[in-house]
Chains A and B, each alone.
Chain A
Amino acid sequence: MSAVRKANLPLGEGIAQIGACGIFLFQILRAIPRSLRHLRETVRQVYFVGAMSLVIIMTCGLFIGMVLGLQLYHTLSIFGGTAALGTVVALSLYRELGPVVTALLFAGRAGTSITAEIGLMRATDQLDAMEMMAVDPMAYVVAPRFLAGIIVMPLLACVFNALGILGAHLVGVSWLGLDNGTFWSNMTSNVDVWDDILNGVWKSTAFGAVITLIATYQGYTTPPTSEGVAYATTRTVVFSSIATLVLDFIMTAFLM
Protein backbone atom coordinates (compact mmCIF):
# COMPACT_ATOMS: atom_id res chain seq x y z
CA MET A 1 0.00 0.00 0.00
CA SER A 2 2.86 2.37 0.84
CA ALA A 3 4.35 1.83 -2.62
CA VAL A 4 1.08 2.99 -4.13
CA ARG A 5 1.03 6.02 -1.81
CA LYS A 6 4.59 6.92 -2.79
CA ALA A 7 3.53 7.06 -6.42
CA ASN A 8 1.65 10.18 -5.30
CA LEU A 9 -0.99 9.76 -7.99
CA PRO A 10 -4.64 10.51 -7.34
CA LEU A 11 -5.49 6.96 -8.46
CA GLY A 12 -2.86 5.45 -6.20
CA GLU A 13 -4.03 7.58 -3.28
CA GLY A 14 -7.63 6.52 -3.97
CA ILE A 15 -6.72 2.81 -3.99
CA ALA A 16 -4.73 3.28 -0.78
CA GLN A 17 -7.76 4.97 0.84
CA ILE A 18 -10.05 2.12 -0.19
CA GLY A 19 -7.55 -0.38 1.25
CA ALA A 20 -7.31 1.55 4.52
CA CYS A 21 -11.10 1.77 4.65
CA GLY A 22 -11.29 -2.02 4.18
CA ILE A 23 -8.94 -2.55 7.13
CA PHE A 24 -11.06 -0.11 9.14
CA LEU A 25 -14.18 -2.17 8.29
CA PHE A 26 -12.41 -5.29 9.52
CA GLN A 27 -11.59 -3.50 12.80
CA ILE A 28 -15.22 -2.44 13.20
CA LEU A 29 -16.48 -5.99 12.61
CA ARG A 30 -14.00 -7.24 15.21
CA ALA A 31 -15.18 -4.58 17.68
CA ILE A 32 -18.91 -5.30 17.25
CA PRO A 33 -19.08 -8.17 19.82
CA ARG A 34 -17.38 -5.89 22.39
CA SER A 35 -19.66 -3.00 21.45
CA LEU A 36 -22.69 -5.05 22.54
CA ARG A 37 -21.60 -4.20 26.10
CA HIS A 38 -22.45 -0.60 25.22
CA LEU A 39 -25.96 -1.35 23.96
CA ARG A 40 -27.25 1.89 25.45
CA GLU A 41 -24.80 3.80 23.23
CA THR A 42 -26.11 1.98 20.14
CA VAL A 43 -29.70 2.87 21.10
CA ARG A 44 -28.63 6.50 21.60
CA GLN A 45 -27.10 6.52 18.12
CA VAL A 46 -30.24 4.96 16.59
CA TYR A 47 -32.09 7.96 18.03
CA PHE A 48 -29.51 10.50 16.80
CA VAL A 49 -29.01 9.20 13.26
CA GLY A 50 -32.52 7.75 12.84
CA ALA A 51 -35.17 9.67 14.73
CA MET A 52 -33.41 12.98 14.18
CA SER A 53 -33.38 12.35 10.40
CA LEU A 54 -37.12 11.70 10.24
CA VAL A 55 -38.22 15.25 9.45
CA ILE A 56 -36.02 15.61 6.36
CA ILE A 57 -36.82 12.06 5.18
CA MET A 58 -40.59 12.51 5.59
CA THR A 59 -40.66 15.93 3.95
CA CYS A 60 -38.56 14.84 0.97
CA GLY A 61 -40.49 11.57 0.65
CA LEU A 62 -43.83 13.40 0.51
CA PHE A 63 -42.72 15.91 -2.12
CA ILE A 64 -40.89 13.37 -4.29
CA GLY A 65 -44.06 11.24 -4.23
CA MET A 66 -46.12 14.28 -5.27
CA VAL A 67 -43.74 15.09 -8.14
CA LEU A 68 -43.78 11.44 -9.23
CA GLY A 69 -47.58 11.47 -9.13
CA LEU A 70 -47.74 14.56 -11.32
CA GLN A 71 -45.11 13.49 -13.85
CA LEU A 72 -46.28 9.89 -14.20
CA TYR A 73 -49.96 10.85 -14.41
CA HIS A 74 -49.08 13.19 -17.27
CA THR A 75 -46.96 10.55 -19.06
CA LEU A 76 -49.41 7.68 -18.48
CA SER A 77 -52.34 9.77 -19.67
CA ILE A 78 -50.68 9.96 -23.13
CA PHE A 79 -51.08 6.18 -23.40
CA GLY A 80 -54.39 6.05 -21.53
CA GLY A 81 -52.77 4.16 -18.68
CA THR A 82 -53.38 6.42 -15.67
CA ALA A 83 -54.89 3.46 -13.81
CA ALA A 84 -51.33 2.12 -13.44
CA LEU A 85 -50.22 5.23 -11.52
CA GLY A 86 -50.20 3.51 -8.10
CA THR A 87 -48.23 0.54 -9.44
CA VAL A 88 -45.60 2.62 -11.24
CA VAL A 89 -45.10 4.98 -8.31
CA ALA A 90 -44.81 2.10 -5.83
CA LEU A 91 -42.34 0.12 -7.95
CA SER A 92 -40.19 3.22 -8.60
CA LEU A 93 -40.10 4.01 -4.91
CA TYR A 94 -39.64 0.52 -3.49
CA ARG A 95 -37.00 -0.65 -5.95
CA GLU A 96 -34.96 2.50 -6.66
CA LEU A 97 -35.94 5.95 -5.50
CA GLY A 98 -36.74 5.05 -1.89
CA PRO A 99 -33.40 3.44 -0.97
CA VAL A 100 -31.25 5.72 -3.15
CA VAL A 101 -32.76 9.11 -2.23
CA THR A 102 -32.97 8.10 1.44
CA ALA A 103 -29.28 7.13 1.30
CA LEU A 104 -28.29 10.46 -0.25
CA LEU A 105 -30.31 12.36 2.38
CA PHE A 106 -28.91 10.13 5.13
CA ALA A 107 -25.35 10.85 3.96
CA GLY A 108 -26.03 14.60 4.07
CA ARG A 109 -27.83 14.61 7.40
CA ALA A 110 -26.44 11.75 9.53
CA GLY A 111 -23.16 10.95 7.73
CA THR A 112 -21.82 14.46 8.08
CA SER A 113 -22.81 14.68 11.74
CA ILE A 114 -21.08 11.34 12.47
CA THR A 115 -17.88 12.51 10.74
CA ALA A 116 -17.88 15.91 12.43
CA GLU A 117 -18.58 14.43 15.87
CA ILE A 118 -15.86 11.77 15.68
CA GLY A 119 -13.46 14.24 14.04
CA LEU A 120 -13.94 16.72 16.88
CA MET A 121 -13.49 13.92 19.41
CA ARG A 122 -10.17 13.18 17.70
CA ALA A 123 -9.17 16.88 17.65
CA THR A 124 -9.96 17.34 21.36
CA ASP A 125 -8.16 14.14 22.47
CA GLN A 126 -11.41 12.49 23.60
CA LEU A 127 -10.58 9.31 21.66
CA ASP A 128 -7.08 9.23 23.20
CA ALA A 129 -8.63 9.82 26.64
CA MET A 130 -10.87 6.77 26.12
CA GLU A 131 -7.86 4.69 25.11
CA MET A 132 -6.10 5.86 28.27
CA MET A 133 -9.12 4.83 30.36
CA ALA A 134 -8.84 1.37 28.75
CA VAL A 135 -12.04 1.92 26.76
CA ASP A 136 -11.71 0.92 23.11
CA PRO A 137 -13.04 3.77 20.91
CA MET A 138 -13.73 1.30 18.11
CA ALA A 139 -16.15 -0.56 20.40
CA TYR A 140 -17.57 2.48 22.22
CA VAL A 141 -17.70 5.15 19.49
CA VAL A 142 -17.39 3.62 16.02
CA ALA A 143 -19.19 0.25 16.16
CA PRO A 144 -22.42 1.64 17.77
CA ARG A 145 -22.69 4.26 15.00
CA PHE A 146 -22.04 1.63 12.33
CA LEU A 147 -24.73 -0.64 13.79
CA ALA A 148 -27.13 2.29 14.12
CA GLY A 149 -26.66 3.12 10.42
CA ILE A 150 -27.44 -0.46 9.39
CA ILE A 151 -30.54 -0.62 11.63
CA VAL A 152 -31.88 2.79 10.74
CA MET A 153 -31.43 3.04 6.96
CA PRO A 154 -34.04 0.38 5.95
CA LEU A 155 -36.51 1.89 8.42
CA LEU A 156 -35.97 5.39 7.05
CA ALA A 157 -36.35 4.07 3.49
CA CYS A 158 -39.69 2.47 4.47
CA VAL A 159 -40.88 5.77 5.95
CA PHE A 160 -39.72 7.57 2.79
CA ASN A 161 -41.62 5.08 0.60
CA ALA A 162 -44.79 5.38 2.69
CA LEU A 163 -44.75 9.18 2.51
CA GLY A 164 -43.90 9.02 -1.22
CA ILE A 165 -46.96 6.87 -1.94
CA LEU A 166 -49.09 9.17 0.20
CA GLY A 167 -47.80 12.14 -1.85
CA ALA A 168 -48.59 10.37 -5.14
CA HIS A 169 -52.06 9.49 -3.78
CA LEU A 170 -52.69 13.11 -2.81
CA VAL A 171 -51.83 14.30 -6.32
CA GLY A 172 -53.28 11.41 -8.33
CA VAL A 173 -56.50 10.74 -6.40
CA SER A 174 -57.32 13.85 -4.37
CA TRP A 175 -56.17 16.40 -6.94
CA LEU A 176 -56.31 14.86 -10.44
CA GLY A 177 -59.38 12.66 -9.79
CA LEU A 178 -58.01 9.14 -10.27
CA ASP A 179 -60.23 6.48 -8.69
CA ASN A 180 -59.08 5.60 -5.17
CA GLY A 181 -59.86 1.87 -5.54
CA THR A 182 -58.00 1.66 -8.86
CA PHE A 183 -54.93 3.33 -7.35
CA TRP A 184 -54.68 0.89 -4.42
CA SER A 185 -55.89 -2.34 -6.09
CA ASN A 186 -53.50 -2.01 -9.04
CA MET A 187 -50.65 -1.33 -6.65
CA THR A 188 -51.36 -4.26 -4.31
CA SER A 189 -51.84 -6.72 -7.15
CA ASN A 190 -48.63 -5.78 -8.98
CA VAL A 191 -46.16 -5.13 -6.16
CA ASP A 192 -44.53 -8.23 -4.70
CA VAL A 193 -43.29 -8.18 -1.12
CA TRP A 194 -40.29 -10.43 -1.74
CA ASP A 195 -39.24 -9.22 -5.19
CA ASP A 196 -39.90 -5.52 -4.81
CA ILE A 197 -40.13 -4.41 -1.18
CA LEU A 198 -37.42 -6.70 0.17
CA ASN A 199 -35.21 -5.77 -2.78
CA GLY A 200 -35.29 -2.18 -1.53
CA VAL A 201 -34.70 -3.25 2.06
CA TRP A 202 -31.49 -5.11 1.11
CA LYS A 203 -30.30 -2.12 -0.85
CA SER A 204 -30.95 0.37 1.92
CA THR A 205 -29.24 -1.89 4.48
CA ALA A 206 -26.15 -2.04 2.26
CA PHE A 207 -26.26 1.73 1.72
CA GLY A 208 -26.52 2.26 5.48
CA ALA A 209 -23.43 0.12 6.06
CA VAL A 210 -21.39 1.86 3.35
CA ILE A 211 -22.36 5.41 4.39
CA THR A 212 -21.65 4.88 8.09
CA LEU A 213 -18.39 3.10 7.22
CA ILE A 214 -17.27 6.11 5.16
CA ALA A 215 -18.52 8.60 7.78
CA THR A 216 -16.81 6.89 10.73
CA TYR A 217 -13.60 6.28 8.76
CA GLN A 218 -13.39 9.92 7.67
CA GLY A 219 -14.03 11.15 11.22
CA TYR A 220 -11.65 8.70 12.86
CA THR A 221 -8.73 9.41 10.53
CA THR A 222 -9.20 13.15 10.12
CA PRO A 223 -6.24 15.45 10.90
CA PRO A 224 -6.98 17.01 14.33
CA THR A 225 -7.60 20.52 13.01
CA SER A 226 -10.70 22.53 12.15
CA GLU A 227 -9.69 22.45 8.48
CA GLY A 228 -9.20 18.68 8.68
CA VAL A 229 -12.69 18.16 10.13
CA ALA A 230 -14.23 20.41 7.46
CA TYR A 231 -12.55 18.46 4.62
CA ALA A 232 -13.47 15.13 6.20
CA THR A 233 -17.14 16.18 6.38
CA THR A 234 -17.12 17.19 2.73
CA ARG A 235 -15.42 13.94 1.73
CA THR A 236 -18.10 11.98 3.57
CA VAL A 237 -20.87 13.50 1.45
CA VAL A 238 -18.97 13.16 -1.84
CA PHE A 239 -17.70 9.60 -1.29
CA SER A 240 -21.00 8.38 0.21
CA SER A 241 -23.02 9.73 -2.71
CA ILE A 242 -20.70 8.16 -5.29
CA ALA A 243 -20.53 4.86 -3.39
CA THR A 244 -24.33 4.77 -3.06
CA LEU A 245 -24.91 5.22 -6.80
CA VAL A 246 -22.19 2.73 -7.83
CA LEU A 247 -23.43 0.16 -5.31
CA ASP A 248 -27.01 0.75 -6.47
CA PHE A 249 -26.05 -0.16 -10.03
CA ILE A 250 -24.20 -3.30 -8.92
CA MET A 251 -27.01 -4.44 -6.61
CA THR A 252 -29.69 -3.69 -9.20
CA ALA A 253 -27.79 -5.82 -11.75
CA PHE A 254 -27.68 -8.72 -9.28
CA LEU A 255 -31.18 -8.36 -7.83
CA MET A 256 -33.10 -7.90 -11.11
Chain B
Amino acid sequence: MSKPRDLQPAIPTDALISIRGLRTRLGDKLIFDGVDLDIPRGKITAIMGPSGTGKTTLLRHITGQLGPDAGEVMVDGQNIARIGREALFDLRERIGYLFQNSALLTDFSVFENVAFPLRQHLKLPEELIRNIVLTKLQAVGLRGAAELMPAELSGGMMRRVALARAIVRDPMLIIYDEPFVGLDPIALNQILKLIRTLNQTLGITSILVAHELAAVSRIADQIYLLAAGKIAAHGTPDDLARGETPWTKQFFSGEADGPVPFHYPAPDYATQLGLVGAKP
Protein backbone atom coordinates (compact mmCIF):
# COMPACT_ATOMS: atom_id res chain seq x y z
CA MET B 1 0.00 0.00 0.00
CA SER B 2 1.24 3.53 -0.72
CA LYS B 3 1.65 5.91 2.18
CA PRO B 4 -1.11 8.47 2.85
CA ARG B 5 -0.32 11.75 1.11
CA ASP B 6 0.48 13.68 4.33
CA LEU B 7 3.06 11.06 5.40
CA GLN B 8 4.94 11.17 2.12
CA PRO B 9 8.05 13.36 1.79
CA ALA B 10 7.33 16.83 0.40
CA ILE B 11 8.23 17.42 -3.27
CA PRO B 12 11.19 19.81 -3.59
CA THR B 13 10.43 22.85 -5.74
CA ASP B 14 13.45 22.31 -8.01
CA ALA B 15 12.50 18.69 -8.81
CA LEU B 16 11.76 17.94 -12.47
CA ILE B 17 10.64 14.43 -11.53
CA SER B 18 9.16 13.35 -8.23
CA ILE B 19 8.13 9.84 -7.40
CA ARG B 20 6.11 9.13 -4.28
CA GLY B 21 5.06 5.77 -2.86
CA LEU B 22 5.71 3.89 -6.12
CA ARG B 23 4.57 0.32 -5.94
CA THR B 24 4.79 -2.04 -8.92
CA ARG B 25 4.24 -5.73 -9.34
CA LEU B 26 5.16 -7.51 -12.58
CA GLY B 27 3.71 -11.02 -12.60
CA ASP B 28 4.49 -12.56 -9.23
CA LYS B 29 7.47 -10.30 -8.56
CA LEU B 30 7.19 -7.16 -6.47
CA ILE B 31 9.52 -4.71 -8.23
CA PHE B 32 8.91 -1.53 -6.20
CA ASP B 33 7.55 -1.40 -2.69
CA GLY B 34 7.17 2.27 -1.78
CA VAL B 35 9.87 4.11 -3.72
CA ASP B 36 10.28 7.87 -3.17
CA LEU B 37 12.82 9.84 -5.20
CA ASP B 38 13.39 13.26 -6.71
CA ILE B 39 15.33 14.17 -9.84
CA PRO B 40 16.43 17.81 -9.56
CA ARG B 41 16.40 20.07 -12.64
CA GLY B 42 19.71 20.62 -14.39
CA LYS B 43 21.51 17.84 -12.51
CA ILE B 44 22.82 14.43 -13.44
CA THR B 45 21.17 11.73 -11.36
CA ALA B 46 22.39 8.16 -11.54
CA ILE B 47 20.19 5.19 -10.73
CA MET B 48 22.27 2.20 -9.74
CA GLY B 49 21.63 -1.18 -8.24
CA PRO B 50 22.06 -4.90 -8.76
CA SER B 51 20.72 -6.48 -11.94
CA GLY B 52 16.98 -7.14 -11.93
CA THR B 53 16.12 -4.50 -9.32
CA GLY B 54 13.92 -2.56 -11.72
CA LYS B 55 16.13 0.30 -12.93
CA THR B 56 14.80 0.12 -16.49
CA THR B 57 11.28 -0.42 -15.12
CA LEU B 58 11.68 2.83 -13.17
CA LEU B 59 12.59 4.61 -16.44
CA ARG B 60 9.49 3.09 -18.06
CA HIS B 61 7.39 4.61 -15.27
CA ILE B 62 9.01 8.01 -15.77
CA THR B 63 8.29 7.98 -19.52
CA GLY B 64 4.74 6.68 -19.15
CA GLN B 65 5.43 3.36 -20.88
CA LEU B 66 4.27 1.58 -17.74
CA GLY B 67 1.71 2.69 -15.17
CA PRO B 68 2.28 2.14 -11.42
CA ASP B 69 0.07 -0.13 -9.33
CA ALA B 70 0.13 2.54 -6.61
CA GLY B 71 1.85 5.85 -5.96
CA GLU B 72 2.48 8.71 -8.33
CA VAL B 73 5.11 9.75 -10.84
CA MET B 74 5.17 13.50 -11.46
CA VAL B 75 7.16 14.75 -14.46
CA ASP B 76 7.41 18.50 -14.90
CA GLY B 77 4.33 18.93 -12.71
CA GLN B 78 2.18 16.35 -14.53
CA ASN B 79 1.06 13.03 -13.11
CA ILE B 80 2.28 10.81 -15.92
CA ALA B 81 -0.24 8.01 -15.25
CA ARG B 82 -3.21 10.36 -15.50
CA ILE B 83 -2.42 12.49 -18.54
CA GLY B 84 -3.94 11.65 -21.92
CA ARG B 85 -2.03 10.24 -24.87
CA GLU B 86 -1.63 13.61 -26.58
CA ALA B 87 -0.24 15.27 -23.44
CA LEU B 88 2.05 12.27 -22.96
CA PHE B 89 3.38 12.62 -26.52
CA ASP B 90 3.85 16.40 -25.97
CA LEU B 91 5.90 15.55 -22.89
CA ARG B 92 7.91 12.88 -24.72
CA GLU B 93 8.84 15.42 -27.39
CA ARG B 94 10.86 17.11 -24.63
CA ILE B 95 12.53 13.89 -23.50
CA GLY B 96 15.49 12.16 -25.14
CA TYR B 97 15.80 8.44 -24.43
CA LEU B 98 18.82 6.28 -25.07
CA PHE B 99 17.72 2.64 -25.16
CA GLN B 100 19.80 -0.20 -23.72
CA ASN B 101 20.08 -1.84 -27.16
CA SER B 102 20.19 1.45 -29.13
CA ALA B 103 16.89 0.71 -30.96
CA LEU B 104 18.02 2.33 -34.21
CA LEU B 105 15.58 2.14 -37.13
CA THR B 106 17.24 -0.50 -39.27
CA ASP B 107 15.76 0.71 -42.58
CA PHE B 108 17.33 4.15 -42.20
CA SER B 109 20.93 5.33 -42.49
CA VAL B 110 22.76 6.85 -39.52
CA PHE B 111 21.91 10.34 -40.82
CA GLU B 112 18.21 9.54 -41.25
CA ASN B 113 18.04 7.93 -37.80
CA VAL B 114 19.31 11.11 -36.18
CA ALA B 115 17.13 13.28 -38.42
CA PHE B 116 14.00 11.17 -37.69
CA PRO B 117 12.69 13.17 -34.67
CA LEU B 118 13.30 16.46 -36.53
CA ARG B 119 11.48 15.31 -39.66
CA GLN B 120 8.53 13.93 -37.69
CA HIS B 121 7.86 16.96 -35.53
CA LEU B 122 9.38 20.06 -37.09
CA LYS B 123 9.04 21.54 -40.54
CA LEU B 124 12.64 22.64 -40.94
CA PRO B 125 14.47 23.43 -44.19
CA GLU B 126 16.57 20.49 -45.39
CA GLU B 127 19.76 22.55 -45.04
CA LEU B 128 19.05 23.22 -41.35
CA ILE B 129 18.23 19.56 -40.66
CA ARG B 130 21.51 18.60 -42.32
CA ASN B 131 23.47 21.05 -40.17
CA ILE B 132 21.81 19.98 -36.91
CA VAL B 133 22.30 16.28 -37.63
CA LEU B 134 25.96 16.72 -38.62
CA THR B 135 26.57 18.80 -35.48
CA LYS B 136 25.16 16.05 -33.27
CA LEU B 137 27.05 13.34 -35.15
CA GLN B 138 30.24 15.38 -34.77
CA ALA B 139 29.59 15.52 -31.01
CA VAL B 140 29.55 11.72 -30.81
CA GLY B 141 32.45 11.36 -33.26
CA LEU B 142 30.46 9.76 -36.08
CA ARG B 143 30.03 12.55 -38.65
CA GLY B 144 31.99 10.42 -41.09
CA ALA B 145 29.60 7.51 -40.63
CA ALA B 146 26.48 9.50 -41.57
CA GLU B 147 25.74 7.46 -44.69
CA LEU B 148 26.31 4.03 -43.13
CA MET B 149 23.42 1.72 -42.27
CA PRO B 150 22.95 0.46 -38.68
CA ALA B 151 23.95 -3.07 -39.76
CA GLU B 152 27.40 -1.73 -40.69
CA LEU B 153 28.07 -0.32 -37.20
CA SER B 154 29.61 -1.91 -34.11
CA GLY B 155 27.60 -2.05 -30.86
CA GLY B 156 29.48 0.93 -29.45
CA MET B 157 28.95 2.99 -32.62
CA MET B 158 25.22 2.18 -32.61
CA ARG B 159 25.03 3.42 -29.04
CA ARG B 160 26.70 6.69 -30.04
CA VAL B 161 24.28 7.16 -32.95
CA ALA B 162 21.38 6.50 -30.57
CA LEU B 163 22.86 9.12 -28.25
CA ALA B 164 23.04 11.64 -31.12
CA ARG B 165 19.38 10.89 -31.88
CA ALA B 166 18.42 11.31 -28.21
CA ILE B 167 19.99 14.79 -28.03
CA VAL B 168 19.07 16.02 -31.51
CA ARG B 169 16.20 18.19 -30.24
CA ASP B 170 18.04 19.49 -27.16
CA PRO B 171 15.42 18.03 -24.79
CA MET B 172 14.74 19.18 -21.21
CA LEU B 173 15.45 15.66 -19.96
CA ILE B 174 17.71 12.94 -21.30
CA ILE B 175 17.42 9.40 -20.04
CA TYR B 176 20.44 7.20 -20.60
CA ASP B 177 19.81 3.48 -20.12
CA GLU B 178 23.21 1.76 -19.91
CA PRO B 179 25.04 4.29 -22.13
CA PHE B 180 28.56 2.96 -21.49
CA VAL B 181 28.10 -0.68 -22.51
CA GLY B 182 30.35 -1.64 -25.43
CA LEU B 183 32.29 1.65 -25.51
CA ASP B 184 36.08 1.59 -25.76
CA PRO B 185 37.97 3.80 -23.26
CA ILE B 186 38.34 6.66 -25.78
CA ALA B 187 34.65 6.68 -26.71
CA LEU B 188 33.68 6.28 -23.05
CA ASN B 189 35.72 9.33 -22.09
CA GLN B 190 34.22 11.41 -24.88
CA ILE B 191 30.65 10.34 -24.07
CA LEU B 192 31.20 11.21 -20.40
CA LYS B 193 32.42 14.65 -21.44
CA LEU B 194 29.44 15.05 -23.78
CA ILE B 195 26.92 14.17 -21.06
CA ARG B 196 28.58 16.61 -18.69
CA THR B 197 28.79 19.35 -21.36
CA LEU B 198 25.11 18.97 -22.29
CA ASN B 199 24.24 19.23 -18.63
CA GLN B 200 26.41 22.27 -17.94
CA THR B 201 25.90 24.30 -21.12
CA LEU B 202 22.23 23.64 -21.85
CA GLY B 203 21.09 22.83 -18.32
CA ILE B 204 19.62 19.52 -19.49
CA THR B 205 18.48 17.24 -16.67
CA SER B 206 19.94 13.77 -17.03
CA ILE B 207 19.03 10.38 -15.61
CA LEU B 208 21.70 7.77 -15.96
CA VAL B 209 21.24 4.05 -15.41
CA ALA B 210 24.62 2.36 -15.40
CA HIS B 211 26.76 -0.17 -13.59
CA GLU B 212 30.15 1.45 -14.27
CA LEU B 213 30.75 3.00 -10.87
CA ALA B 214 33.98 4.83 -11.76
CA ALA B 215 32.44 6.42 -14.86
CA VAL B 216 29.23 7.38 -13.06
CA SER B 217 31.14 8.89 -10.14
CA ARG B 218 32.96 11.25 -12.54
CA ILE B 219 29.81 12.98 -13.75
CA ALA B 220 26.84 12.25 -11.47
CA ASP B 221 25.64 14.88 -9.01
CA GLN B 222 23.70 12.32 -7.01
CA ILE B 223 23.16 8.58 -6.99
CA TYR B 224 20.12 6.55 -5.97
CA LEU B 225 20.90 2.95 -5.08
CA LEU B 226 17.91 0.69 -5.74
CA ALA B 227 17.71 -2.67 -4.01
CA ALA B 228 14.95 -5.02 -2.90
CA GLY B 229 12.21 -2.75 -4.23
CA LYS B 230 13.29 0.30 -2.24
CA ILE B 231 15.84 3.10 -2.27
CA ALA B 232 18.67 1.49 -0.32
CA ALA B 233 20.90 4.58 -0.33
CA HIS B 234 20.95 8.10 -1.75
CA GLY B 235 23.58 10.83 -1.90
CA THR B 236 26.55 12.19 -3.82
CA PRO B 237 29.01 9.66 -5.27
CA ASP B 238 31.43 10.46 -2.42
CA ASP B 239 28.71 9.99 0.22
CA LEU B 240 27.83 6.59 -1.15
CA ALA B 241 31.44 5.50 -1.53
CA ARG B 242 31.91 6.22 2.19
CA GLY B 243 28.55 4.64 3.06
CA GLU B 244 28.47 2.19 5.92
CA THR B 245 25.15 0.49 5.21
CA PRO B 246 25.34 -3.19 4.18
CA TRP B 247 23.84 -2.27 0.77
CA THR B 248 26.42 0.37 -0.12
CA LYS B 249 29.30 -1.67 1.29
CA GLN B 250 28.42 -4.71 -0.79
CA PHE B 251 27.52 -2.83 -3.96
CA PHE B 252 30.55 -0.57 -4.03
CA SER B 253 33.02 -3.29 -3.06
CA GLY B 254 31.42 -5.86 -5.39
CA GLU B 255 31.33 -8.65 -2.81
CA ALA B 256 29.24 -11.79 -3.27
CA ASP B 257 28.21 -11.87 0.39
CA GLY B 258 25.76 -9.30 1.65
CA PRO B 259 22.09 -8.36 1.52
CA VAL B 260 22.03 -8.86 -2.28
CA PRO B 261 22.36 -12.59 -2.99
CA PHE B 262 24.70 -13.42 -5.90
CA HIS B 263 22.97 -16.76 -6.45
CA TYR B 264 19.44 -17.05 -7.78
CA PRO B 265 17.28 -18.95 -5.24
CA ALA B 266 17.98 -22.69 -5.66
CA PRO B 267 17.77 -25.95 -3.68
CA ASP B 268 20.74 -27.00 -1.56
CA TYR B 269 23.80 -27.48 -3.83
CA ALA B 270 25.03 -30.71 -2.23
CA THR B 271 21.54 -32.22 -2.24
CA GLN B 272 21.06 -31.36 -5.90
CA LEU B 273 24.40 -32.97 -6.78
CA GLY B 274 23.30 -36.10 -4.87
CA LEU B 275 26.11 -35.82 -2.30
CA VAL B 276 23.87 -35.77 0.80
CA GLY B 277 23.15 -39.26 2.10
CA ALA B 278 25.34 -40.92 -0.55
CA LYS B 279 27.47 -43.83 0.59
CA PRO B 280 31.23 -43.07 0.72
Contacts and interface: CB of A to CB of B under 8 A. Distances in A.
A128 B103 contact: yes
Contact of B89 (A128, A129, A136, A140): A136
A125 B59 CA distance: 14
Interface residues of B, number: 20
A42 to B, nearest CB: 15
Contact of B101 (A124, A135, A136): A124
Contacts of A132: 63, 65, 92, 95, 97, 99
Interface string B110-121: 000000110011
B28 interface: no
A118 to B, nearest CB: 12
A129 B103 CA distance: 6
B105 interface: yes
A78 interface: no
A124 to B, nearest CB: 6
Contacts of A135: 116-117, 120
Contacts of B116: 133, 135
Interface of B: 63, 65, 89-90, 92-93, 95, 97, 99-101, 103-106, 116-117, 120-121, 165
A120 B89 CA distance: 24
A62 B100 CA distance: 50
Determine which residue in B65, B97, B101, B120 has the highest number of CB atoms from chain A within 10 A of its CB, and name it: B120
Contacts of A179: none
Given A125-B101, A128-B65, A133 B106 contact: no
Contacts of A126: 103-106
B99 A134 contact: no
Contact of B97 (A121, A124, A129, A140): A129
A192 interface: no
